[in-house]
């Protein structure tokens, strides 16, 4: 008796565009791949127009690449008449109408999608199989296994373990190259006044047809786009080009200025590879390997701390955030340590604020769908935390506005690192600051409507009074934190009149927050 060859339907999700996956090693006429543009993915957050278009354009390019290689492809466009607008319903329909005998998919990176597909396969009346995405350095459960029984989940510990396991920047078996694991203290410089960063590499993709389809579907979006000249990479070739541009032109100054901020300098020396990596057009390993190779070939021109800071963001921070996500979800999405309840100021959606730092960071985000990590952490995130905004509101904004934001990497950075809503799982302290830090790392304060040096009174920088108001309000939860005990010593030594003035100033700003 001849065993019948199964007729397989394989689902490819929009952030699984890894052409080097073992699925594609051979062409099999009995295997059909399906990609789909669906409302369940466009509508779960209020997305930036560039984010939706970036994903759809990358998916269409990927489908074309697979077709060119001889694979059987079914692509469901947003406005197709037969689009049922969910992974499960579309797959169910395709399986039923085409007599598929097996269903396969890759592990989703989002808990939400993972649960949908688990439920779908439970009720499926044909066999199914789940595959790894073959993308990350670590497995979903690796961080949880490493810290089993521990109360603290230190990123540095995880980072060192990843370096050792994958032999990245390691010598003599398990020792860090150049004698230290972490060179972060050398990576915190402000842009010098006359320093002009290199112009970023921008692409020139015409995505007008996709924009028309989104308009036709009446999908609500935020932000702006020039759809004749879409600047983000939408295929692997462009992603590799952006990687080459980074290592050749930006890596030598990346670390030094990775925390720096300046008006009209939205890219500085950042790689801007996160969208390509998060859609899996690029793998983290090839990005890290390319950076290391470039460093080793140019040690006279690239200082080691530039490289180490970049490698740590990928093999350390990115993998760590994913590990925390899979260890703590779904409960993580509901944590609210400070019990904050406020809504986001209206100008978070428009950029129309008199605070220069927030005006720049938000308008940049609306224009490009991008801001680098310090803009996200110490400008927009800092203000939202000081203002007592509910973490759900902050999550929704970050998830929607940034082209690289997928929940597994967004929520742990936002709810954890930025808002300290997890009570210290990710960060060891809340990342809040007054105007002093913002002025130290940026030139945003120059020409601002508010005075960075004033704590109270007319035109006093809101960050100054809100900073002390935050510490006063949450003293019972934060006073024993060893990393911020010094701030409470300063607060307690202040004259009662000065404290009252600061708290009254903060109250005034919070009650007029949409006017700031």
Distances in Å between the alpha carbon of 173 and those of 97, 157, 164, 165, 236? 56, 17, 8, 10, 34
Give the residue-averaged pLDDT of 38-62: 96
Give the residue-averaged pLDDT of 30-39: 97
Residue 173 confidence (pLDDT): 86
pLDDT over 60 (residue 2): no
Asked if residue 300 lies in contact with residue 252, where contact means CB atoms within 8 angstroms, the answer is no
Residue 356 confidence (pLDDT): 96
Residue 184 confidence (pLDDT): 79
CB atoms within 10 A of CB 81: 5
Asked if residue 19 lies in contact with residue 65, where contact means CB atoms within 8 angstroms, the answer is yes
Asked if residue 191 lies in contact with residue 268, where contact means CB atoms within 8 angstroms, the answer is yes
The domain spans of the chain are 8-131, 142-198+250-328, 346-515
DSSP label at 34? E
Whether the bond between 102 and the residue before it is cis, its omega within 30 degrees of 0, is: no
Q: Which two tokens stand for residue 259?
A: 């925390």
Percentage of the chain modeled with pLDDT above 90: 91
**What pLDDT band is residue 406 in, cutting at 50, 70 and 90?**
very high
pLDDT over 80 (residue 188): no
> Coil, strand, or helix at residue 128?
strand
Q: Are strands 170-171 and 102-106 parallel, antiparallel or unpaired?
A: unpaired
Asked if residue 163 lies in contact with residue 289, where contact means CB atoms within 8 angstroms, the answer is no
| Measured distance CA(434)–CA(421) in Å, rounded | 20
Asked if residue 477 lies in contact with residue 486, where contact means CB atoms within 8 angstroms, the answer is no
Are the folds of 8-131 and 142-198+250-328 the same? no
| Measured distance CA(460)–CA(355) in Å, rounded | 11
Q: Which two tokens stand for residue 242?
A: 């952006």
Give the residue-averaged pLDDT of 115-132: 95
| pLDDT, tens digit, 9 for 90 and up, residues 316-360 | 999 999 999 999 999 999 999 999 999 999 999 999 999 999 999
Give the residue-averaged pLDDT of 71-79: 97
Residue 5 confidence (pLDDT): 83
Question: φ, ψ for residue 353 (rounded to 5)?
Answer: -135, 155
Give the residue-averaged pLDDT of 239-266: 94
| Measured distance CA(7)–CA(29) in Å, rounded | 9
**What pLDDT band is residue 486 in, cutting at 50, 70 and 90?**
confident
Residue 3 confidence (pLDDT): 66
CATH number of this structure's domain 8-131, picked from the four choices 3.90.25.10, 3.40.50.620, 2.40.50.140, 3.40.228.10:
3.40.50.620
Architecture of domain 142-198+250-328: Alpha Horseshoe (1.25)
| pLDDT, tens digit, 9 for 90 and up, residues 265-307 | 999 999 999 999 999 999 999 999 999 999 999 999 999 999 9
| pLDDT, tens digit, 9 for 90 and up, residues 142-166 | 999 999 999 889 999 999 999 999 9
> How many distinct helices (H) and strands (E) make up the chain?
23, 7
| pLDDT, tens digit, 9 for 90 and up, residues 352-397 | 999 999 999 999 999 999 999 999 999 999 999 999 999 999 999 9
CB atoms within 10 A of CB 219: 16
> Where in 149-302 does DSSP place strands (E)?
170-171, 175-176
Give how far the C-alpha of residue 431 lies from the chain's centroid of Cα atoms, to the nearest Å. 17
| Measured distance CA(83)–CA(75) in Å, rounded | 10
pLDDT over 80 (residue 252): yes
**What pLDDT band is residue 47 in, cutting at 50, 70 and 90?**
very high
Architecture of domain 346-515: Orthogonal Bundle (1.10)
| Measured distance CA(489)–CA(310) in Å, rounded | 36
pLDDT over 70 (residue 72): yes
- Scored b (16 or more CB within 10 A) or e, 391-423 reads bbbbbbbbbbbbbbbbbbbbbbbbbbbbbbbbe
């Amino acid at each position: 008796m001849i065993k019948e060859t199964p007729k397989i339907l394989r689902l490819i999700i929009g952030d699984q565009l890894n052409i080097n996956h073992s699925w594609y090693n051979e062409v099999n006429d009995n295997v059909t791949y399906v990609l789909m543009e669906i409302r369940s993915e466009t509508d779960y957050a209020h997305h930036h127009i560039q984010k939706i278009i970036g994903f759809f354009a990358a998916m269409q390019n990927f489908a074309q690449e697979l077709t060119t290689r001889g694979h059987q492809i079914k692509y469901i466009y947003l406005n197709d008449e037969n689009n049922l607008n969910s992974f499960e319903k579309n797959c169910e329909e395709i399986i039923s109408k085409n007599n598929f005998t097996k269903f396969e998919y890759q592990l989703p990176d989002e808990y939400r999608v993972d649960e949908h597909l688990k439920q779908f396969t439970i009720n499926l009346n044909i066999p199914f199989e789940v595959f790894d995405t073959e993308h990350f350095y670590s497995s979903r459960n690796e961080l949880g296994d490493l810290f089993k029984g521990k109360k603290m989940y230190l990123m540095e510990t995880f980072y060192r373990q990843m370096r050792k396991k994958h032999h990245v920047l390691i010598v003599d078996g398990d020792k860090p190259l150049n004698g230290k694991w972490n060179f972060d203290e050398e990576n915190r410089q402000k842009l010098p006044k006359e320093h002009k960063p290199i112009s970023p590499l921008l692409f020139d993709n015409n995505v007008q047809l996709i924009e028309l389809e989104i308009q036709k579907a009446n999908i609500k979006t935020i932000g702006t786009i020039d759809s004749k000249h879409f600047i983000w990479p939408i295929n692997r070739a462009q992603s590799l080009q952006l990687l080459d541009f980074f290592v050749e032109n930006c890596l030598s100054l990346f670390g030094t200025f990775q925390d720096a901020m300046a008006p009209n300098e939205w890219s500085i020396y950042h790689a801007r590879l996160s969208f390509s990596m998060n859609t899996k057009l690029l793998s983290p390993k090839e990005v890290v390997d390319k950076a290391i190779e470039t460093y080793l070939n140019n040690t006279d021109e690239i200082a080691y701390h530039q490289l180490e800071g970049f490698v740590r963001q990928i093999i350390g921070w990115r993998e760590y955030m994913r590990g925390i996500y899979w260890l703590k979800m779904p409960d993580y999405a509901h944590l609210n340590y400070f019990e904050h309840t406020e809504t986001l100021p209206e100008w978070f959606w428009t950029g129309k604020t008199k605070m220069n730092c927030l005006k720049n960071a938000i308008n940049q985000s609306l224009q490009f769908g991008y801001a680098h990590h310090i803009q996200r952490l110490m400008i927009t995130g800092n203000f939202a935390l000081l203002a007592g905004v509910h973490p759900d509101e902050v999550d929704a904004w970050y998830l929607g506005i940034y082209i690289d934001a997928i929940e597994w990497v967004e929520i742990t950075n936002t709810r954890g690192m930025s808002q300290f809503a997890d009570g210290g799982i990710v960060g060891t302290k809340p990342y809040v600051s007054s105007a002093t830090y913002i002025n130290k790392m940026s030139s945003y304060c120059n020409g601002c409507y508010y005075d960075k040096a004033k704590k109270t009174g007319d035109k006093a920088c809101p960050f100054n009074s809100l900073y002390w108001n935050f510490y006063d309000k949450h003293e019972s939860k934060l006073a024993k934190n060893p990393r911020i005990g010094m701030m409470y010593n300063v607060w307690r030594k202040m004259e009662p009149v000065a404290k009252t003035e600061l708290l009254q100033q903060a109250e005034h700003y919070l009650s007029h927050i949409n006017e700031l």
